[in-house]
């Protein structure tokens, strides 16, 4: 029996090699390590319904091996309400700035590898700057439709992120017609106190102003969303199950308050309230509060981007301006602009897709630097009025609950142990605080990792978050597919991570099924794909 199973598995790997050669890739010989040979164990039986995280069966690899080696065991499968669907993000540039599919063959092989592994689905970004690039109201969905069809044919679910921002990482700007308006009216962009403009996202202050050829950004976002809904109607509710709406820079609910730090210690960032529209709102708020002088500018004593909290007076641990009446006035106004913006966008998305049985979600960032200080400076400049004396996430969670939206929380791979010395950072405490607010208001949580290039122990850290009691985790998306993701250094570990989340105890007389062979094929395809993507990148 074992010989026939191994022979069948080897035959299937041979078919995989042929498929790779037909796609222009090399074969898959000599890529299995001794550790990887466990996929050929005939005593293991895998099911094809899709891997779900079993919150009651998270075990170490050693414990797993002992269970599978047992002569008699009872097959156990987690109940649906104990499971968390797992997704993988597609490359940010899956559709290029020229509206063509990038790495189409590699993505097709990657989708098959993920399906064989048992992943629930994938996530991909739909860029405003690509789909509505040339002219307002002129949409080009063809490449995104082709990508959605690839996902559908692979038998995977799809989460779509509507990106109303640009990306410096992938060099995808805002639509050309918007950028042209910005050249004449730079005040539509966020501006810092040095009058530098952030051109990857529109200022929240122009949401309801007719600055885009007579239309407001909210009107343009709604028309974009309605066109997407109409064009992808055949995928809605079947393939496409989730719509995430971009709420700010990098799709996150925040101001563009930080830039690349000049040292290992992240600075506090800067307030982004110096475009004329933000200053106009600040002046109106100051006049209504009876202190017109408070509306002339942002805080004059705040540090710069890469500076620490104590380098100036505003964020000082004791006696800083953030604890004064003026500090409360400014921080309340600044945070309210952020929350009002997200309220408008989540309301728009919920209304637009209300009849499509879609889950609507938005991403809240984990601004964890300086969390152990009293002022929480990095959170304040990003727009979250969260300090030692004030819970800044309760209002955010309440707003998500009001629109029945899921909150995406990245950073579930981060641990306090690996944070830079001196940053007084605590991603674990911050995540715990936000999840507590979500639990209070009944908001579903969808987790993400911050980077595929994580510190040691990231998979254990993710499993810890997913196994916590009394936290409603709706799903988890692992970011993101690419050369490193499928590399021999990463993909086998990722595969073991997925398997450890869905351990099954088996009868010794269970007959092996082809799912075990498919797991081997998945690893083979992933490893070869990673090598080829790395060669292409080089």
Contact assessment for residue 248 and residue 255, using Cβ atoms and an 8 Å cutoff: yes
Q: Residue 260: pLDDT band by 50, 70, 90 thresholds? A: low
Residue 397 lies in a domain: yes
User: How many domains is the chain partitioned into structurally?
Assistant: 1
pLDDT exceeds cutoff 50 at 37: no
What is the per-residue DSSP string for 318-375? TT-GGGSHHHHHHHHHHHHHHHHHHHHHHHHHHHHTTTTTPEEEEE-----TTTTSSS
Q: Is 155 left (phi over 0), alpha (psi -120 to 50) or beta?
A: left
Task: State the pLDDT at residue 65.
Answer: 33
Q: Which DSSP category does 90 fall into? A: P
The answer to whether residue 301 sits within a structural domain is no
Sign of the dihedral defined by the CA atoms of residues 403, 405, 409, 412, in that order: positive
Residue 455's pLDDT band (cuts 50, 70, 90): low
- Give the pLDDT of residue 324: 98
More confident residue, 3 or 158: 158
- Give me the residue label for tokens 């794909």: 529
Indicate the SS3 state at residue 148.
helix
Q: For 187-222, what is each residue's pLDDT tens digit?
A: 999 999 999 999 999 999 999 999 999 999 999 999
Segment (H or E) for 277: helix 276-288
Distances, alpha carbon 234 to alpha carbons 48, 210, 374, 386, in Å:
25, 33, 51, 43
Of 379, 375, 385, whose CA–CA distance to 365 is shortest?
Answer: 379
User: Would residue 287 count as lying in a domain?
Assistant: no
- CA proximity to 342, closest of 285, 276, 398: 398
Of the two residues 382 and 70, the one the predictor is more confident about is 382
Q: Would you place residue 532 in the very low, low, confident or very high pLDDT band (cuts 50, 70, 90)?
A: low
Which residues span the domain enclosing 253?
86-260+342-503
Residues 187, 191, 194, 200, CA torsion sign: negative
pLDDT score recorded for residue 170: 87
Pick the most confident of 36-40, 260-264, 358-362. Answer: 358-362
Catalytic residues: 252, 448
So what's the pLDDT on residue 319? 94
Q: What is the pLDDT of residue 418?
A: 87
Residue 65 structure tokens? 């091996």
**For 48-103, what is each residue's pLDDT tens digit?**
333 344 333 333 333 333 332 333 222 222 334 456 889 999 999 999 999 999 98
The residues, ordered by sequence, that sit 6+ positions from 230 with a Cβ below 8 Å of its Cβ are none
Residue 528 confidence (pLDDT): 53
Q: Could you give the 3-state DSSP secondary structure of residue 190?
A: strand
Residue 160 and residue 149 in contact, taking contact as beta carbons nearer than 8 Å: no
Higher pLDDT, 509 or 312: 312
Per-chain mean pLDDT for the chain: 82
Q: Are 526 and 113 contacting, i.e. CB atoms less than 8 angstroms apart?
A: yes
Does residue 168 fall inside a structural domain? yes
Task: Specify if 182 maps to a domain.
Answer: yes
pLDDT tens digits for range 399-429: 999 999 999 999 999 999 988 888 899 999 9
> Are 403 and 347 a contacting pair, CB within 8 Å?
yes
What's the half-sphere exposure (Cβ side, CA atoms, 13 Å) at 448?
Answer: 21
Of 1-10, 241-250, 383-392, the poorest mean pLDDT is in 1-10
Q: How far apart are CA 301 and CA 309, in angstroms?
A: 11
Q: Phi/psi of residue 387, each to 5°?
A: -135, 180
Lowest mean pLDDT among 36-40, 86-90, 124-128, 520-524: 36-40
Per-residue tokens: 493: 């570990």
Given this model, what pLDDT does residue 2 score?
Answer: 40
What φ, ψ does residue 161 adopt, rounded to 5°? -110, 115
What mean pLDDT do residues 508-514 have? Answer: 39
Residue 85's DSSP bridge partners are 52
41: closest CA among 500, 492, 493, 506? 506
Calculate the CA 268 to chain-centre distance: 23
Split at pLDDT 50, 70, 90, the class of 33 is very low
Does residue 459 form part of some domain? Answer: yes
**Residue partners of 144: CB distance under 8 A and separation at least 6:** 95, 126, 131, 232
Residues paired with residue 189 on neighbouring β-strands, in sequence order: 202
Give the model confidence (pLDDT) of 113-153 as tens digits. 999 999 999 999 999 999 999 999 999 999 999 999 999 99
Give me the pLDDT at residue 168, please. 87
Summarised one tens digit per residue, pLDDT across range 461-471 is: 998 888 877 66
Residue 133 lies in a domain: yes
DSSP reduced 3-state for 100: coil
What is the CB neighbour count within 10 angstroms for residue 70?
12
User: The CATH number of the domain where 390 resides is what?
Assistant: 3.20.20.80
439 in any annotated domain: yes
């Amino acid at each position: 029996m074992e010989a026939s199973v191994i022979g069948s598995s080897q035959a299937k790997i041979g078919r995989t090699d042929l498929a790779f050669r037909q796609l222009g890739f090399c074969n898959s010989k000599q890529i299995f390590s001794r550790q990887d040979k466990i996929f050929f164990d005939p005593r293991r039986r895998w099911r094809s319904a899709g891997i779900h995280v079993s919150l009651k069966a998270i075990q170490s690899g050693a414990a797993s091996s002992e269970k599978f080696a047992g002569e008699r065991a009872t097959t156990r499968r987690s109940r649906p309400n104990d499971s968390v669907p797992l997704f993988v993000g597609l490359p940010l540039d899956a559709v290029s700035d020229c509206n063509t599919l990038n790495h189409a063959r590699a993505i097709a092989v990657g989708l098959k590898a993920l399906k064989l592994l048992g992943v629930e689905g994938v996530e991909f970004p739909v860029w405003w700057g690509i789909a509505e690039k040339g002219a307002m109201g002129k949409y080009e969905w063809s490449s995104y439709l082709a990508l959605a069809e690839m996902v559908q044919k692979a038998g995977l679910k799809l989460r779509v992120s509507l990106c109303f921002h640009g990306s410096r990482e992938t060099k995808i700007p805002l639509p050309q017609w918007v950028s042209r308006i910005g050249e004449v009216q730079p005040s539509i962009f966020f501006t810092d106190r040095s009058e530098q403009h952030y051109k990857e996202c529109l200022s929240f202050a122009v949401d309801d102003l007719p600055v885009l050829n007579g239309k407001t950004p909210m009107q343009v976002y709604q028309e974009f969303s309605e066109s997407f809904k109409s064009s992808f109607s055949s995928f809605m509710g079947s393939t496409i199950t989730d719509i995430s709406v971009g709420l700010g820079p990098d799709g996150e609910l925040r101001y563009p308050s930080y830039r690349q730090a000049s040292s290992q210690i992240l600075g506090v960032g800067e307030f982004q309230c110096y475009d004329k529209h933000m200053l106009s709102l600040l002046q109106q708020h100051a006049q209504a509060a009876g202190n017109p002088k408070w509306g002339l500018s942002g805080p004059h004593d705040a540090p710069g981007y890469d500076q620490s909290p104590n380098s100036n007076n505003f964020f000082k641990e004791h006696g800083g301006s953030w604890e004064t009446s003026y500090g409360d006035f400014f921080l309340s106004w600044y945070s309210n602009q952020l929350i009002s913006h997200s309220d408008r966008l989540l309301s728009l998305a919920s209304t637009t897709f209300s009849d499509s049985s879609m889950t609507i979600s938005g991403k809240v960032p984990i601004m964890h630097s300086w969390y152990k200080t009293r002022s929480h400076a990095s959170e304040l400049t990003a727009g979250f009025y969260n300090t030692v004396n004030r819970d800044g996430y309760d209002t955010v969670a309440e707003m998500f609950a009001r629109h029945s939206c899921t909150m995406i929380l990245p950073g579930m791979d981060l641990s306090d142990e690996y944070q830079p010395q001196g940053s007084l950072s605590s991603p674990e405490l911050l995540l715990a605080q936000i999840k507590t607010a979500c639990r209070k208001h009944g908001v579903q949580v969808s987790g993400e990792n911050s980077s595929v290039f994580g510190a040691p122990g990231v998979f254990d850290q993710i499993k810890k978050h997913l196994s916590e009691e009394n936290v409603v985790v709706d799903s988890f998306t692992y970011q993101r597919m690419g050369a490193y993701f499928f590399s021999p250094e990463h993909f086998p570990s990722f595969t073991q991570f997925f398997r450890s989340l869905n351990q099954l105890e088996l009868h010794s007389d269970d007959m092996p099924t082809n799912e075990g062979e498919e797991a081997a094929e998945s690893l083979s395809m992933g490893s070869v794909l990673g090598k080829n993507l790395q060669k292409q990148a080089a």
